[in-house]
Amino acid sequence: MGMGKKFAAFGIAKKVYDEARKPHNQAKIKAAVRKVQERRKRY
């Protein structure tokens, strides 16, 4: 049972990593990070 969970977690992590490497997704991630940083500066 534990080994199945590890394989599932690895598969999900790989999918997230692969999606994050795509240029259009990188732009979205950078915009979100910038937005959070701006909010933190205000307070």
What does pTM read for this prediction?
A: 0.57
What does the pLDDT read at residue 28? 93
Q: Per residue in 27-43, pLDDT tens?
A: 999 999 999 999 998 87
Q: What are the backbone dihedrals phi and psi of residue 21, each rounded to the nearest 5 degrees, phi first?
A: -80, -15
What does the pLDDT read at residue 22? 92
Dihedral angle over CA of 19, 21, 24, 25, nearest 10? 50
Q: 1: pLDDT confidence band, cut at 50, 70 and 90? A: low
Query: CA 6, CA 15: separation in Å to the nearest integer?
Result: 14
